[in-house]
Amino acid sequence: MSTRPGGPAGGGPGAGAVGRFPGMLGLMADLTPTVLAERVAALRLVDHHVHPALQTDIGAAEFEDLITESDRAAPAGLTQFDSQLGLAIRRWCAPVLGLEPFAEPADYLARRSSLGGVEVARRLLRVSGISHFLIDTGLVRPGLLDLAGMQDLAGARASEVVRLESVAEQAAWSGDGSAAGFAGRFAAALSGQAAGAAGLKSIVAYRYGLDFDPEPPTAAEVAGAAGRWLRQADQTGQIRLEDPVLLRHLLWAGLEHGLPLQLHTGFGDPDVDLRRCDPLLLRGFLRRAEPRQVPIMLLHCYPYHRGAGYLAQAYPHVYLDVGLAINYTGARAAAVLAESLELAPFGKVLFSSDAWGPPELHYLGALLWRRATARVLGDWVAEGEWSQADALRVAEMIGGGNARRVYRLD
């Protein structure tokens, strides 16, 4: 955990504060920035958007594939360890596996395989201090823990977030497989899965872009689009849902359930056209959905997190996180986090790791968030802009309180 709560301006923030604001010495004596960092380090976090961790042993090449959002192999002679995330793994995960900080990648990977996938996951999940995972189960690969496995290894709660496109793809060929019956089959399947879920999720950003027509499609439009989709699926054997009419239908049908609706925005793998993932493109949809009073959770947002902060301020039902970006910006995470706290009301910002696969990502998502939060809020306290008590209160809100309220977890 962070032992250096000081800001990038250099010098101890406590000393700076006393120097600039001598009258504050007494006020700050019992709650120094170090105390803030320690309290943030001890917070029991709710990870409101995350995926399962891998419990299987993975080789060096596979590990490198999983610590980048690229789906391409690194160019010859380069390693994914030479990145903010790679450095963070060597700095912070190595000691959890019993190595010195900054262990060489080869030593790190050798230690990983000698411990085995289950033990690596157990250690990293436990030390993350995440008490509740809201898990998007829509992205599958062999070796991922299921919800019960995540609970057991992490010693935490796990709830499911249901991915709308996955439900639709499963419902496509179920029953009589007719185009006219698709909407009904999807509705029935979604009702079943939503019943036990904490939230819903859409990847319309991946499958089309956020510049979709914000109006709900008519029943006739849905049936027509389902017919085209199912015919194409029959011909190709591929059931990937990319039709914008159907993707819109999923969103509007999802809102009927009243569960928080997570939307991928911003940064992701090269399957997204990042230019079309700016959450500001959602303005029309957000305005039309507003009377439903369903929380819309803008995920990741980077590099559009400042626009997302504007949306969170403008619209009562809009929330955001900068998960994923925290891990991938590593030592720069404090800058991203600070920008996410410019316009957004603090009750609208949530912690998430968006980890998927290597449990290093679950641990670092939490650790780097804690370090960035302690650093950013600690600086504002040191500069006399915030009180320590407010800094701690806001850290608790973002770390878990907001998620507990919005998802009704308690």
Least CB distance from residue 322 to Zn ion, whole Å?
13
d(CA 89, CA 34) in angstroms, rounded, equals 24
Least CB distance from residue 136 to Zn ion, whole Å?
5
Least CB distance from residue 326 to Zn ion, whole Å?
13
With residue 102 as reference, give the H or E element that holds it: none
Q: Which is nearer to Zn ion, 322 or 381 (CB)?
A: 322
Least CB distance from residue 309 to Zn ion, whole Å?
20
Using the contact rule CB under 5 A, the part of the chain among 147-155, 219-227, 307-315, 350-358 near Zn ion is 350-358
Q: Which is nearer to Zn ion, 130 or 381 (CB)?
A: 130
d(CA 311, CA 360) in angstroms, rounded, equals 31
Using the contact rule CB under 5 A, the part of the chain among 74-82, 124-132, 188-196, 352-360 near Zn ion is 352-360
Cβ partners under 8 Å of residue 17, min gap 6: 24, 28, 381, 382, 383, 384
Least CB distance from residue 388 to Zn ion, whole Å?
33
d(CA 208, CA 243) in angstroms, rounded, equals 8
Using the contact rule CB under 5 A, the part of the chain among 31-39, 87-95, 98-106, 353-361 near Zn ion is 353-361
- Omega of the bond leading into 303 within 30 degrees of 0 (cis): yes
Our measurement of the distance from residue 296's CA atom to the centroid of its chain's CA atoms, rounded to an integer in Å, reads 14
- Residue 165: name the closest of 226, 242, 233 by CA: 242
| Residue 47 in contact with Zn ion, rule: CB under 5 A | no
Residue with tokens 């990042």: 274
Q: Which is nearer to Zn ion, 243 or 321 (CB)?
A: 321
Q: Which is nearer to Zn ion, 202 or 402 (CB)?
A: 202
Least CB distance from residue 356 to Zn ion, whole Å?
6
Query: Please, which of residues 114-153 interact with Zn ion by CB under 5 A?
Result: none
Q: Which is nearer to Zn ion, 161 or 406 (CB)?
A: 161
- The neighbour count for residue 227, using CB atoms within 10 Å, is 14
3-state DSSP assignment of residue 265: strand
Is 245:227 a contact under the CB 8 Å cutoff? no
d(CA 296, CA 286) in angstroms, rounded, equals 8
Using the contact rule CB under 5 A, the part of the chain among 92-100, 302-310, 348-356, 379-387 near Zn ion is 348-356
Number of residues that bind Zn ion (CB under 5 A): 1
| Residue 278 in contact with Zn ion, rule: CB under 5 A | no
Q: Which is nearer to Zn ion, 64 or 354 (CB)?
A: 354
First to last CA, the chain: 27
- Residue 361: name the closest of 5, 65, 41 by CA: 65
Using the contact rule CB under 5 A, the part of the chain among 226-234, 305-313, 351-359, 397-405 near Zn ion is 351-359
Q: Which is nearer to Zn ion, 243 or 354 (CB)?
A: 354
Dihedral pair phi/psi, residue 328, rounded to 5°: -80, -15
Helices (H), ranges, 25-75: 25-28, 33-42, 60-65
Least CB distance from residue 51 to Zn ion, whole Å?
6
Using the contact rule CB under 5 A, the part of the chain among 104-112, 254-262, 347-355, 374-382 near Zn ion is 347-355
Interface residue with Zn ion among 354, 355, 373, 375 (CB under 5 A) is 354
Is 324:336 a contact under the CB 8 Å cutoff? no
Residue nearest Zn ion, Cβ-based: 354
Binding region for Zn ion (CB under 5 A): 354
